Structure formats: structure tokens, C-alpha cells
Structure 1
Amino acid sequence: MADSTEKAETMKNYHIASEKINPLAGRFPHCIVWTPIPVLSWLFPFIGHMGICTSTGVIRDFAGPYFVSEDNMAFGKPTKYWMMDVSKVYASGSSAWDIAVHDASEEYKHRMHNLCCDNCHSHVAMALNLMRYDNSTSWNMVKLCLLVLLRGKHVSCAGFLKTWLPFLTLLGVIVTVALAINLR
């Protein structure tokens, strides 16, 4: 019985949050957002730039050395979002979510950006670890990269194309050239 009550509460939370998501206004409350990085994402479409949104949908992203952007993602508007369940925050509620996003952002304002080790994904992971999202403190950039790829939703058809078209075009060129070389 408790399991069905918990599922009903989770579905209610998702319904409330999804009503507040507004891609045109750039508002994604309680979401992790993602956008492609030119050239890098064309080669590896699972690698991109990530941010985390407050309860009001304001995007915070570690955009460069000692700089956390607010509502101006470093590589453009989000093309994907992953809606999180605020009831999975340890202290529960939007206030705990916002405090964790704020604290992670303040910490990253004092850090050097490193593409491979301490980057935008690490900033989001710190926020999730601070709020103990889903009763976990083991969030990291690899886990987030994989989960956003698998669970993230594209904001629109244009978001889908911006994410995948360069990669598919490049792949098509490579296959065409390889076939042309083999047919000689």
C-alpha cells in the first residue's frame, strides 16, 4: 500500500513540475538541462554542456573559470532536460533544492574550469550530492552524462536536430567516403 501511495505522490510531483516547464521562456523547474558544445558534441553527441535549474526554473551552469552563469548557458539554450522529482531531495522540498543549487554555484565560483575533471557536470553533481538527491552522495559527471542521455527529453524537434543532426551528417560523410574508397 505504501508503495502505491509513494508512486501516486511521485506522479503528482511530476505533473505539477511538467506544467511549469516552459522551453520558450527557458524555464525548467527542478531540472537538469543540457545543450551541445560545437564540434565536441558533433563528434561525441553524448558529451555536452550541463546546468541545473532552481525551483523557479532559473538555469545555473558552470560556464568557465570562476564563473557560474545564471540564465545564459555558455553554449546556448537547452536542447534537452531531465525533470527531477523534488520529493527525492533528502530534506524534501523546493527550499532544500534551491539551497543546494546555490551552495554548489557559490563553490564553483571559486574553481578553475577543467574540461576533463572539474566541469559543468561536476557542478551539477555537487548540487545533487549536497541535496542528497535520491538518498545518494555518489553523483558524478559520468553518471550524469549517461543519465541525461538516457532519461533526458528534447525540448522540441529543433532541439533534437541541434543535438543529433551534426553528428549524423558527419557520420554520413564518413560512411560515404569509406564506401567510395572501398569501391575503387
Structure 2
Amino acid sequence: SWGPKGVALTITLPPRAAMADVCEVDSLSSLTRGLEKIDPSASRYPFCVVWTPIPLLSWLFPFIGHMGICTSSGVIRDFAGPYLVSEDDMAFGKPTRYWKLDVSKVDSSSSDVWDAAVFDASEEYKRRMHNLCCDNCHSHVAMALNLMHYDSSTSWNMVNLCLLSFIHSKHISWVALLKTWLPFVLLCVVIVTATVVLSVR
């Protein structure tokens, strides 16, 4: 085209291929953002550690329960018993709490690294005997976090996971909150009531 006073101007447009690449990246980003959305109705918790109470045990100690870790697409993997890692069939029922982790704290900030770590930890625990006190669902999650070097650490274990999950996790709903805490509260009420009655006598 021609500019003022007859000076030729050249306008360079980006090649169609480059424009297509940009659109493709945008589409992939949108897809990734969609996958990261938490959807309790479909039991999808991308990049989360999930937790559900264990009958009797959690009624006495509400900070102790069953734990799993989710893939980047939200699929739950949990060490459910000896030589068994479940997929989307969490032992003791659906999660009542979740702890959303930050994928940018994973090596290379990559969802592929996250998924590979969850997969490798799950494959390892398919070969292990379940031990409630020493090698359990928390240990499975800890191994996954150690493999991905989450938060630049390889020191994740059942103790710090239990504590941090209890502090940082959110209840999925009011019903989930009641499922987590109501048995413990009722048990405390029964114990206090029985103690008061016996002391009065």
C-alpha cells in the first residue's frame, strides 16, 4: 500500500499457520482450565487430595480418615486395601473434604509430571500389603507427592499429610460436613451426658 507523499508502506500479516497455532494454544488452555474445575456432582477433583471418614475410627478421631489423590482430570486414585488401588471407587464412600494443590509447585509446573507421579505411586502400591499404622492410603498419596517433588520436597509422609490436609482441606458441602463431624459430636454429647449423670448420682 502507499502512504503519504507516495511513500510505500509494507504491512506484514502473520502466516495462517502461525495464527492457527495461536488459536490451537488458546483452545488447549481453555480445555485445561475446564479440566481443572472441581465438580463434586461428578466426583471430579483435579490436582486435589481428597478425604472421607472411616466409620468408628473417624467418629473417635475426626482428623483420621481415608485419603486419595486425584489426577489432573480429577479421577480419584486411593490405596483401598492389600494390593488394590481403586480408580473412581473410593473406599468408604465419596470424599467429604478436598485439599486443592498448586500444579505450579510440581517439577516443571507440568500436569504430565503430576499424572505420571500419581500413576507410578499407584502402580507401586498395587504390589503392597495394606498396613493401617505404617503403610496406608496416606503413604500412597505421600509417595505421589514425593515423586513429583511437590513444593520442592521429598519428605511427604502420613503424619504431615494428615495434619496439613486437616488444616487446609475444605468440606464439599454441608451434608459432607455433617457426615464428617456429626458422629463425633454426638459421641461427645453422650459421653458428657453420661459423665454428668453418673457424677450427680
Q: Secondary structure at the match of 2:67?
A: strand
- The answer to whether structure 1 residue 68 and structure 2 residue 85 are counterparts is yes
For residues 92-131 of structure 1, the aligned pairs below 5 Å read 92-131=109-148
Q: Secondary structure at the match of 2:90?
A: coil
- The number of equivalent residue pairs is 169
Q: TM-score, normalised by structure 2?
A: 0.82
Give structure 2 stretches of 5+ with no counterpart: 1-32
For residues 155-166 of structure 1, the aligned pairs below 5 Å read 155-166=172-183
Query: Which protein, 1 or 2, shows the higher relative CO under an 8 Å CA cutoff with sep ≥ 6?
Result: 1
Q: Is the 8 A contact 1:91 1:131 kept in 2?
A: no
Q: Is the 8 A contact 2:50 2:99 kept in 1?
A: yes
- The answer to whether structure 1 residue 36 and structure 2 residue 53 are counterparts is yes
Shift of 1:91: 2.6
Rounded Cα–Cα distance in structure 2 between residues aligned with 1:162 and 1:73: 16
Q: Is the 8 A contact 1:51 1:59 kept in 2?
A: yes
Taking every aligned residue pair, what percent have the same amino acid on both sides? 72
How has the CA–CA distance of structure 1 residues 19 and 102 changed in structure 2, closer, same or farther, with 3 Å as cutoff? closer
Q: Is the 8 A contact 2:35 2:73 kept in 1?
A: no
Give structure 1 stretches of 5+ with no counterpart: 1-15
Instruction: State the 4+ residue runs in structure 1 displaced beyond 6 angstroms.
Output: none
Say which of 71, 95, 100 aligns to 1:54.
71
Say which of 95, 98, 121 aligns to 1:78.
95
| 2:6 alignment partner in structure 1 | none
Q: TM-score, normalised by structure 1?
A: 0.90
